[in-house]
């Protein structure tokens, strides 16, 4: 009795469909609007839009409300992106009070204490912002940053000058001036101490005990600025850095996106994070890399499983992947 042949063709993974031009265009537009590059988004949408021609080859004008030029990206979203960019620019420039005023004007829900526990309506829950969006935390962080800016003795310009120039002279909040009975210096110091008391009051009103302890400890560190004539040259200089401004600006931006029902990160960033996580797990589990497309394999350094002599899934390298597509 004849036996069926034991030879089988190796399993081949089904071909993956390539993303369509419309999908790629949508990803680019989503990224540009998410990063507040609204002028570029509008220009890209116009240049990459599908033009409809009539029988004579003339372009057919689409209705203004058709939305064909910006699928999934409304003018309202772009307008909000412009407002987010303006608020971010003010925070990065150290103009906290002006940024707070704009925040309350354009996005009042962000600092509205009555909405602290309410969740906005979103289409999905694919990614959660890593920083708090609680209005009480946001308001306190803004007030702390405003206090830090008022303690600054060395101007920190944003954006930084393109050409090298001598470092700005410090405007010393000098203890020597206090000893010389300088009324202006005394008034400034008194105002700073009053603001410090208000910050402690805000921190002590937080409902969560752990939050209160964290913010009180943070305030103890921040208020150390008052002990130095030039705090930018002290051990607490990190609180007066541009990185500190950026952290506050990023948190506020995430809170705006959250309250307006938008994703915390752009879709293309989410895809990159997902790819990184999947490849990391597959690499740790020594999953064979046979199903990885050849175009990706060329771009990445493949690891070999010493036990079976098989290539395993590599860690995701975004730079290498982009270089392979260049």
Q: Indicate if the pLDDT at residue 176 is higher than 60.
A: no
Contact 263, 254 (CB under 8 A): no
> Per the domain annotation, does 76 fall within a domain?
no
Q: Indicate the SS3 state at residue 292.
A: coil
> Per the domain annotation, does 247 fall within a domain?
yes
Higher pLDDT, 292 or 124: 292
81-95, 133-147, 164-178, 222-236: which range is least confident on average? 164-178
> Per the domain annotation, does 22 fall within a domain?
no
Q: What are phi and psi of 59, to 5 degrees?
A: -70, 135
Residue 184 in tokens? 């202006």
87-101, 179-193, 240-254, 290-304: which range is least confident on average? 290-304
Rounded to whole angstroms, the Cα distance separating 175 from 153 reads: 13
Q: Indicate the SS3 state at residue 311.
A: strand
Higher pLDDT, 202 or 274: 202
Higher pLDDT, 4 or 43: 43
Number of structural domains, the chain? Answer: 1
Q: Indicate the SS3 state at residue 315.
A: coil
- Structure confidence by residue, pLDDT tens digits, 204-245: 999 999 999 999 999 999 999 999 999 999 999 999 999 999
Report how far Cα 74 is from the mean position of its chain's Cα atoms.
21
> Per the domain annotation, does 302 fall within a domain?
no
H/E stretch holding 156 reads none
Residue 36 in tokens? 């507040």
For residue 112, name the pLDDT band (cuts at 50, 70, 90).
Answer: very high
pLDDT at site 6: 53
Mean pLDDT within 193-206: 94
Rounded to whole angstroms, the Cα distance separating 170 from 152 reads: 9
> Per the domain annotation, does 213 fall within a domain?
yes
H/E stretch holding 173 reads none
> Per the domain annotation, does 191 fall within a domain?
yes
Name the DSSP letter for residue 310: E
> Per the domain annotation, does 141 fall within a domain?
yes
- Structure confidence by residue, pLDDT tens digits, 266-287: 888 888 888 888 888 888 888 7
Strand partners, 303: 312
pLDDT at site 179: 47
> Per the domain annotation, does 104 fall within a domain?
yes
Residue 199 in tokens? 């910050």
Name the DSSP letter for residue 303: E
pLDDT at site 299: 45
Rounded to whole angstroms, the Cα distance separating 125 from 265 reads: 12
Residue 251 in tokens? 């948190």
Per-residue CA distances from 258 to 123, 253, 261 (Å): 12, 9, 5
Among positive and negative, which fits the CA dihedral 103, 152, 200, 198?
Answer: negative
Mean pLDDT of the chain: 79
Exposure of 30 by Cβ count < 10 A (0-12 exposed, 13-18 middle, 19+ buried)? buried
Strand partners, 312: 288, 303
- Structure confidence by residue, pLDDT tens digits, 116-143: 555 555 555 455 667 899 999 999 999 9
**Domain range holding 222?**
83-113+128-160+184-268
H/E stretch holding 230 reads none
pLDDT at site 24: 86
Alpha helices in the chain (DSSP H): 21-34, 38-48, 75-92, 96-106, 135-151, 175-179, 183-204, 209-222, 242-259, 267-284, 294-299, 318-325
Q: Indicate if the pLDDT at residue 104 is higher than 70.
A: yes
């Amino acid at each position: 009795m004849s036996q069926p042949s034991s030879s089988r063709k190796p399993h081949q993974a089904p071909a993956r469909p390539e993303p369509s031009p419309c999908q790629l265009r949508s990803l680019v537009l989503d990224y540009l609007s998410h990063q507040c590059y609204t002028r570029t988004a509008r220009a890209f949408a116009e240049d990459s839009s599908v033009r409809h021609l009539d029988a004579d080859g003339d372009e057919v004008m689409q209705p203004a409300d058709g939305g064909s030029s910006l699928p999934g990206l409304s003018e309202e979203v772009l307008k909000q992106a412009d407002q987010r960019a303006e608020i971010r620019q003010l925070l990065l420039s150290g103009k906290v009070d002006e940024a707070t005023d704009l925040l309350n004007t354009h996005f009042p829900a962000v600092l509205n204490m009555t909405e602290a526990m309410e969740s906005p309506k979103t289409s999905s829950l694919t990614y959660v912002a890593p920083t708090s969006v609680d209005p009480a935390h946001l308001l306190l962080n803004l007030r702390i940053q405003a206090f830090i800016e008022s303690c600054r003795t060395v101007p920190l310009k944003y954006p930084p000058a393109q050409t090298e120039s001598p470092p700005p002279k410090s405007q010393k909040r000098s203890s020597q001036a206090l000893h010389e009975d300088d009324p202006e210096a005394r008034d400034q110091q008194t105002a700073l101490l009053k603001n410090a008391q208000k910050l402690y009051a805000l921190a002590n009103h937080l409902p969560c005990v752990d939050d209160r302890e964290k913010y009180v400890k943070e305030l103890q560190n921040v208020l150390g600025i008052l002990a130095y004539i030039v705090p930018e040259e002290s051990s607490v200089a990190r609180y007066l850095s541009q990185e500190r401004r950026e952290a506050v600006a990023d948190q506020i931006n995430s809170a705006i996106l959250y309250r307006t029902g938008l994703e915390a990160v752009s879709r293309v960033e989410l895809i990159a994070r997902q790819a990184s996580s999947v490849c990391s797990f597959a690499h740790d589990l020594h999953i064979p890399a046979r199903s990885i497309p050849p175009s990706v394999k060329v771009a990445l350094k493949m690891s070999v499983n010493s036990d079976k002599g098989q290539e395993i899934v590599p860690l995701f390298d975004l730079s290498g992947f982009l270089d392979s597509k260049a």
